[in-house]
Structure 1
């Protein structure tokens, strides 16, 4: 029985490996969307997603800083992912300041502030202290296109409530930007054709964190 299951898994894995990159991306996106919709209809309390997402994000941040300060290299890291992260965290802080009367908002503000400071530290290390190990040629994603696309989507699709519309739109923009912020890092690794150990751990934590953040968003707006 165990051998049969193992054989079936090997066949499935082999089939997936033979697919083109575009098909893999499509299937992965489809699976993620289906999982998000399922979670949105089965789990009511979105706070669980927030807690786990932030914990995973914190773990990834610790791994990233450990690499920068102990290994003294930023090889394999995308500066553009860090810049996008700083942008959406700044936007969320602005939203937090505009929604000071919301219960529990200060916890969000403090966490975002911690992550923003660590992200700015990472950007500083990559741009100045570890500049020689940063491979700019592999960081090829066009950030302005991503930012503008998220802004347009946020204007079209954002939560409707009695709150100031700008705040809802800005929050939606941050959510959309957060969801795709890992893409430059993935493209960087694809161009490099290799994944370093610590970078792999960091990207894995980002992926899990972004997935849970999207799940929380779906539960909130549905």
Structure 2
């Protein structure tokens, strides 16, 4: 554990809390992609198959939090507040994301066993899971402030993990190329959003995309 990984985990947890807060207080999931949230459930379930192998309280708690938090988000969107879900705007074809990730999991795992293949799938899938949400924002041309804060916290989590990998390489001589490449891909997806967030949302303006 290092400060960059801790900050990344906190940023990730804040993103999930912000999303649940937004849905529960507004009683609406308008503007949110159920496809993205469902992909995140698949990411965490496939990654944390070792959840019952105790490493530390922190490790177990965070794994449970990510699985339960993402599952609760999907439940609220798909069932409790489904009448507010804008299905017509959540139209990105997710098979274009899932199938390449499955292929990469079988082609480039560190070891050929079910747990390692599922872990590899989860890394690649997480790198593109946000794409339906970003596509939805692009399609509608705007995002509520709290949705923007959620996306910024989620993007910051990946950016901080890049610093974590740099730190581990320098201090521990540890390199995880799958996580690094997938993390860079995910961070690049956020670049335009980061610019708009800094130039608009932080200044108190609504995140409206340029025409």
TM exceeding 0.5: yes
CA RMSD of aligned residues (A): 2.3
1:91 pairs with one of 19, 43, 46: 46
Please state how far the C-alpha of 1:211 moved relative to its aligned partner.
3.3
Higher relative contact order structure (alpha carbons within 8 Å, sequence separation ≥ 6):
1
Paired position in structure 2 for 1:130: 81
Aligned residue pairs total: 170
Cα distance 1:212–1:96, how it changes in 2: closer, same or farther (>3 A)? Answer: farther
Please state how far the C-alpha of 1:70 moved relative to its aligned partner.
1.1
Q: Which range moved further: 183-192 or 108-117?
A: 108-117
Deviations 1:150-199 (A, max 9, x none): 12112222335xxx633322212111111111111100101111111111
Deviations 1:8-55 (A, max 9, x none): xxxxxxxxxxxxxxxxxxxxxxxxxxxxxxxxxxxxxx7444322210
Please state how far the C-alpha of 1:83 moved relative to its aligned partner.
0.2
Distance 1:144 1:194 in 2: 25
Distance 1:154 1:215 in 2: 24
1:96·1:106 contact (CA, 8 Å) conserved in 2? no
1:96·1:105 contact (CA, 8 Å) conserved in 2? no
Q: Does 1:50 align with 2:1?
A: no
Question: What is the 5 A alignment of 1:56-135?
Answer: 56-97=11-52, 100=53, 104=55, 107-135=58-86
Cα distance 1:184–1:61, how it changes in 2: closer, same or farther (>3 A)? Answer: same
Which runs of structure 1 show a deviation greater than 3 angstroms over 4 or more consecutive aligned residues? 46-49, 104-109, 211-220
Distance 2:163 2:50 in 1: 20
Deviations 1:92-146 (A, max 9, x none): 121445xx37xx3664343121111111111111112211211101111222231
Structure 1: gaps of 5 or more residues:
1-45
2:51·2:63 contact (CA, 8 Å) conserved in 1? no
SS at match of 1:137: coil
Q: Which range moved further: 181-190 or 112-121?
A: 112-121
Structure 2: gaps of 5 or more residues:
170-174, 178-211
Which structure has the larger Rg? 1
Distance 1:139 1:47 in 2: 37
The structure richer in helix per residue is: 1
Give the TM-score, by structure 1 length. 0.68
Please state how far the C-alpha of 1:72 moved relative to its aligned partner.
1.2
Distance 1:95 1:49 in 2: 23
